[in-house]
Amino acid sequence: MTPAPEPEDNDTGLPGLRSWRGVYLFVLGCFATYVAALAIFGRYFA
């Protein structure tokens, strides 16, 4: 049901992150890193 993205937008135009899958994984990786860092930060100074 979800239509495919427009063909000219397959390239993200970002150096090192050529595919959209790569961009989404990068954002997910940032999110996981933030949660882990915040948990460690809170524990360290508790």
Partner 1 sequence: MNTLDYIVLVGTLVSIAAYGLWRTRGRRDLHGYLKGAGNTPWFVIGLSIMATQASSTTFLSTPGQGFESGLGFVQNYFGAPLALIVIAIVFVPIYRRLNVYTAYEFLGKRFDQKTRLLGAALFLVQRGIGAAITIYAPAIVLSTVMGWSLNATILCTGALVLIYTAVGGSDAVNLTQKYQIGVIFLGMFAAFGVLVSKLPEWLSFGDALTVAGGLKKLEAVDFSFDVHKRYTLWSGIFGGMFLALSYFGTDQSQVQRYLSGGSVRESRLGLMFNGVFKIPMQFFILLLGALVFVFYQFERPPIFFNQTAWQQHARGESAEKMHALETNFAAAHAQRRDLLKAWIEAKHSGDPARIESARSAALAANDRAEAIRTEAKKAMSPEPGKSAKDSDYVFITFVLDYLPHGLIGLLVTVFFAAALSSKAGELNALGSTTTVDLYRHVIRRDAADAHYVIASKWFTAGWGVVAIALALCATLTENLIEFTNIVGSIFYGVPLGLFLTAFFLEKVGGTAVFWGALIAQVLVIVCYFATDIGYLWLNPLGCGLCMLFGVILQAVGGEKKLSFA
Binding site for partner 1 (CB under 8 A): 1-6, 8-9, 11-14, 20, 23-24, 26-28, 30-31, 34-35, 38-39, 41-42, 44-46
Q: Do residues 11 and 21 lie in contact, with contact meaning Cβ atoms separated by under 8 Å?
A: no
What CA–CA distance (Å, rounded) separates 26 from 38? 18
Q: Is the dihedral of CA 33, 35, 40, 41 positive or negative?
A: positive
Please, what is the minimum distance in Å from the beta carbon of residue 44 to partner 1?
7
- Kindly state the smallest distance separating residue 32's Cβ from partner 1, in Å: 9
Least distance to partner 1, CB of residue 16, Å: 14
